[in-house]
Structure 1
Amino acid sequence: MSTPKNMSITSHHEGVDQEKHRDNDGHLVRPANLAALTDEEYNKVGKRATWKMDIVIMPIMTIMYILNYLDRQNIASARLAGIEEDLGLTDVDYQTSVSILFVGYILMQVPSNMIAGKIKTPGLYICSAMAVWGVISALMATVHNFVGLLMCRFFLGFVEAVFFPGALFFLSLFYNRKQFALRTAILYSGSQLGNAFGGLFAIGILTLDGAHGLAGWRWLFIVEGVLTVGLAIIFAFLLPNSNKKIIGLNPLEIEWVGWNFEKDLGQQDNSDEQTAWQGLVMACRDPKTWLLMSILYTTYIVGTVSNFFPSVVGTLGYDRNTTYGLTAPPFMLCVICMLINGFHSDKVCNPKTRDEYPSRTPTNNPQKQERFWHIVGPLCITLIANIIAVSTLNTAARYVAMMLLPASFYSSAVVILSWITGSLNQPKVKRAAAIALINAFCNTPNIWGSYLYYNEPRYLVAFLVLLAASALAIGMAVVTRFYLSRQNKKMDTGRDVGRSGPTAAQVAAGFRYTL
């Protein structure tokens, strides 16, 4: 099979490592220690290594995301607790305070992930950022006017920008494409658990209202900020910084983790292969970046409802504590749906790998891999939920729409993120830059989207925009699947897929895009 132009193994070190795991035809073969195992032993090592890795990484990342979301979204709970009255905020002031966080959040994401893609300690980097945003969140308790709140929110977003794109890149160092959707769903469940229990957590903290002369919403910022800093310090000692050293895994299991990653992508990761700037340029030149970005962008437009979820649920007419309580079930359902959708997408995206059958033709068979329907299916439900929200003010119907919205668009989003990470995976610095670039741009609706939510209780303009965005997201997913399918067909017939295609090593190993 011929290989695309302008694609080579760019690092000498990487090339040497690749040779150890390839036969004379360029096909990947198992390392000697793993090849000596029987199939049963090999599978046991893999299951044990994955389980141990999950136990170390996923609970920490999920808790970090819960706190990331609580510290970002607690302004919504503070609004119901009287922050507008205490600081003399107008509706526009409040909307601007919500939006300004995402200005800092967007500005820092790409530079941050360019750093994460080059440094040797990405885990420590993320934990350090967590401690800093916890401090800023606690300092929000000291503000006394709109300007102070605005400054704190901007810098909170600036530092929090490290986490989500950094977390996706971090997970991509340990899990391959066939494992990624479920782990993304587990990670994303942190934000939804934050949404689900943020209001309930707020009820408990707000009982401190008046203690030591501080309003309840000030205690909200203090307690959540201090908790974030404390856990960040603990996590810094637990999170691994590479897949070559993970707490609890023995040398054979570590070797399996590295091989599991390499056999799926067709080559190893190496941060020395390109500069961070070259990685960003490669991401910008790749059509896949913009196609996948368009799907996530339109989906995130629908996601703007999360910033106003307590206010939207508040239009049902219940008191403050009941409203807080009613915000929990939609996000609990969301967590369940995300995990099911992510798990099932990975399950059907699990073909036999080439190392199992080294004499056969490419094994990453795109027909056995599936992301598209796990994206479009939930988005169709999002479409229906927005139609309900637009059509009626009936309390029961409105709440059904609120139940369906987060569960559907977030279930879609976790698979979109997996599609992004798996399709823009090499070189390593390109993957880091692409994840951050897409996530940064796709968060811009959080800036302008907050101004859609007016004229309560109907919020007609907001839900009409969300309805249109849902339909557009489905359309862009169709276009993206068609493009990736064409790229796979080119590789199947040995044609040139251009500089934005897989590396020569990946093509030789039978890499194909997941559909």
Structure 2
Amino acid sequence: MALSDEKIDVELEEHATEPRGVITPEEIQARFERLRDLSTEEMDALNKRVVKIIDWRLMPCITLMFLMSYLDRINVSNARLAGLQSDLHMDDTVWNTGISAFYIGYLFGQLPGNMLLAKVSSPRWFLPTVMLAWSVCTICMPAMTTGAGFIVCRFLVGLTEAPFFPGITLITSSWYTKEENPMRMAVWHAGNTISNILSGFLAAGILTMKGTLGLHSWQWFFIIEGAASIAIALSAYFVLPDWPQNTRFLTKQEREMAQYRVLVSNGGKEEVVGGTWDGLKDAAKDPFTWFFCLMHFALDTAQSFKDFLPSIMKTFHFNELTTYLVQAPLYAVAYAAACMLAWSSGRNQESTWHIIVPIVASAVGCSVLISTLNVGARYFGLALLILGTYNGLNLQLSWETTVVPAPRSKKAALIAIANCVSQTSHWFSPYFFPTSQEPFYRLGGGLILVGCLITVVSALLVRWRAAKLNRRLDEVEGWSQHCGNERGWRYVY
């Protein structure tokens, strides 16, 4: 897998920010008319003010939006327990085809959606419109009467939802520095853990609505969640920011600070948009893209249990209400752990072991889950399984946008390609969790363990490549631990 010196040199010219020298924050500050005369204390105060504004405008908005997108994705698992599969007379094959259809639509919409977002000047129009589209599809699902209708509806929901996840990854990395990125992505990525917590409580409440207005409980799942999602999408048109250089609620000086912060984090490399096809070609030629594709695919494979968690929990032989409610603590623990690990990763600028150690814990948890019927041990195994896989996906997203910070079109392509490849795991993973595998689901457990193993391998591959490029940058700059020179931008690993 070794690359020639000549090829490494070419890649450094494409990847590294300033391979022929170090660009200092002072030199970057001098590029901005309204910043160049500010003192260090004034710059620090302005920076804190901008971060506070963005934290309060961007993070709550995209966290709520992502919460609803994930709730929309997992609501079918709760609807299944509420009778959706039996009412539509679907066997396991038709059901699993419907689950897979969502991810087929998701695959088709990923790359074009994110490449379009990288080009548009107003994410605050693009992302809420995407959300409105999938919410309308969801609220129409109570009209389903056959398995074929279920498959078509899930395909359309996946197609319309596809650009959203890579889109909010892109916009977050465009506003925050490499030190801030892991924690901020953990905050909004917590939308999926919070949605799983809320899902259990919502399911418990909605079960009591059976027969209300002549509708089944599963129909109320889609009506209530679809309506809430539409309301949040409409609100996002007024709250969500655009890009740092053109967002409307910052002053000109604050917009310059927003751009300065990211430039310093990128080592001076401008986050220019770049040509759509150029960005796609550059991403396709970069080994980082394919290493992160492998990692994202592995993490999604390791998370394949999530669409079947209520069914797995049913094998614990709790009553229906308890089955929903006991899911909440698992995700609460996973969220707390993900935030702590993200903070540590950003502070220490280290990603490899922050991913590997928790994913090994997930493998241990999965092994416990498929090897015993002891309820306490299995519940603890589920806690480990959820913790490691959710943490890994969060850190993988921030890692890939840190090692490829610019141009925006290339970063957008990398995010979308990795997400596209990862979704192919959903084409086959549902077939590893048939009801005939109860209570251990060992076939699915084996798939999860393979995903954990591949995650470890892919993280080590990214680390190997980043370290190799860093050594070459050291040579180019003539830097060593004993030279006393300032070290420039380096790849995080």
Indicate the larger mover: 315-324 or 376-385. Answer: 376-385
> Which residue of the partner structure matches residue 104 of structure 2?
103
- On the 8 A contact 1:56/1:247 being kept in 2, the answer is no
RMSD (CA atoms): 2.3
Distance 2:300 2:108 in 1: 17
CA drift of 1:248 comes to 4.9
> Which residue of the partner structure matches residue 490 of structure 2?
512
Q: Residues 417-475 of structure 1: CA distance to partner in whole angstroms, max 9, x if unpaired? A: 11111112222101001100001111211221111113111101111221122122112
Taking a change above 3 Å as real, the CA distance of residues 183 and 6 of structure 1, as seen in their structure-2 partners, is: closer
- On the 8 A contact 2:270/2:407 being kept in 1, the answer is no
Distance 2:13 2:375 in 1: 60
Determine which of 445, 465, 472 is the counterpart of 1:483. 465
SS of equivalent to 1:237: helix
- On the 8 A contact 1:279/1:429 being kept in 2, the answer is yes
> Which residue of the partner structure matches residue 223 of structure 1?
224
Distance 1:233 1:8 in 2: 43
The answer as to 2:370 corresponding to 1:390 is yes
> Which residue of the partner structure matches residue 168 of structure 1?
169
Determine which of 245, 252, 269 is the counterpart of 1:267. 269
The answer as to 2:448 corresponding to 1:474 is no
Q: Which letter maps to 2:401?
A: T
Distance 2:26 2:224 in 1: 56
CA drift of 1:222 comes to 0.8
Q: Residues 384-413 of structure 1: CA distance to partner in whole angstroms, max 9, x if unpaired? A: 112212321211110101111111111122
> Which residue of the partner structure matches residue 148 of structure 1?
149
Distance 2:382 2:84 in 1: 25
SS of equivalent to 1:249: coil
Indicate the larger mover: 52-61 or 172-181. Answer: 172-181
> Which residue of the partner structure matches residue 338 of structure 1?
338
> Which residue of the partner structure matches residue 46 of structure 2?
45
Distance 1:437 1:312 in 2: 31
Distance 1:6 1:289 in 2: 13
Distance 2:187 2:128 in 1: 19
CA drift of 1:191 comes to 1.0
The 5 A counterparts of 1:397-416 are 397-416=377-396
- On the 8 A contact 1:123/1:170 being kept in 2, the answer is no
Distance 2:12 2:278 in 1: 14
Q: Residues 337-389 of structure 1: CA distance to partner in whole angstroms, max 9, x if unpaired? A: 1111111111112xxxxxxxxxxxxxxxxxxxx11121112112112112212
- On the 8 A contact 1:330/1:406 being kept in 2, the answer is yes
Distance 1:132 1:46 in 2: 36
> Which residue of the partner structure matches residue 481 of structure 2?
none
CA drift of 1:288 comes to 0.8
- On the 8 A contact 1:376/1:474 being kept in 2, the answer is yes
CA drift of 1:251 comes to 3.2
- On the 8 A contact 2:242/2:248 being kept in 1, the answer is no
Distance 1:8 1:488 in 2: 13
SS of equivalent to 2:384: helix
Q: Which letter maps to 1:298?
A: A
Q: Residues 157-182 of structure 1: CA distance to partner in whole angstroms, max 9, x if unpaired? A: 00110110011011122112121111
Distance 1:440 1:196 in 2: 27
Distance 1:450 1:124 in 2: 34
Distance 2:271 2:461 in 1: 29
The answer as to 2:204 corresponding to 1:203 is yes
Distance 1:7 1:114 in 2: 24
- On the 8 A contact 2:75/2:222 being kept in 1, the answer is yes
Distance 1:142 1:251 in 2: 50
TM-score (norm 1): 0.87
Indicate the larger mover: 218-227 or 203-212. Answer: 203-212
- On the 8 A contact 2:50/2:257 being kept in 1, the answer is yes
TM-score (norm 2): 0.90
The answer as to 2:457 corresponding to 1:457 is no
**For structure 1, which runs of at least 5 residues remain unmatched after alignment?**
10-20, 350-369, 496-507
- On the 8 A contact 1:22/1:29 being kept in 2, the answer is no
> Which residue of the partner structure matches residue 357 of structure 1?
none
Q: Which letter maps to 1:73?
A: I
Taking a change above 3 Å as real, the CA distance of residues 235 and 509 of structure 1, as seen in their structure-2 partners, is: farther
Distance 2:462 2:11 in 1: 23
Q: Which letter maps to 1:481?
A: R
Indicate the larger mover: 148-157 or 171-180. Answer: 171-180
